[in-house]
Amino acid sequence: MIKRFRSLSEGGFVLEGSSRTSLIKSSAIRRMLELSMGMENVVHLEQGEPDFTTPSHILDAAVEAMKKGFTHYTEINGTLELRQAIAEKLERENGIDADPKTEITVTSGSQEAMFIAALGFLNQGDEALILDPYYPAYFEDTLLAEAVPITVSLNEEENY
């Protein structure tokens, strides 16, 4: 049996992280954000964070939804109504026929989606092709899935 609890001198204990946590590195994006915190007039391009406040019609809709009791957990894959709207958009704008009951999952962001995809599709030892330049999480998600990341450089000379 592996013991992963460590006693503290002042009482109590700490659960030590799994060996996989050593695969997670602080990203260069995070480092640049930290460096910029004390600087003025910085234009942030590293995150999908808008430079404007949420429009009032969206705030009003959120307040109205909360007043109607939409304050609880939804289905694990997102509400069927939302998944149906996504399926309709995919068909209308992209010509993609997707079943909202079995082929669409709503996540809280792209990092969660990529992590779920890596764990759901990669087996230990599988090789995953990652187009370079890439978002750092793609590499780490592959490692956490115990797969082997293989980077493929994109360059203009080879027409990408």
Confidence check: pLDDT of 3 > 70: no
Q: What is the pLDDT of residues 22-72, one digit of tens each?
A: 777 777 777 888 888 888 888 877 667 777 899 999 999 999 999 999 999
| pLDDT-derived band at 2, boundaries 50, 70, 90 | low
> What's the number of CA atoms in the CB half-sphere (13 Å) around residue 84?
3
Beta strands in the chain (DSSP E): 5-7, 13-15, 127-132, 148-153
Lowest model confidence (mean pLDDT) among 2-6, 18-22, 125-129, 131-135: 2-6
Report pTM.
Answer: 0.66
Task: Dig out the tokens for 57 from the structure.
Answer: 């019609």
Find out whether 131 and 154 touch, Cβ atoms under 8 Å.
yes
Instruction: Give 48-100 as a DSSP string.
Output: ---SSPPPHHHHHHHHHHHHTT--S---TT--HHHHHHHHHHHHHHH-----T
Higher pLDDT, 121 or 9: 121
pLDDT at 56: 97
Contacts of 143 (CB under 8 A, 6+ apart): 23, 149
Answer positive or negative: Cα dihedral of 104, 110, 115, 118: positive
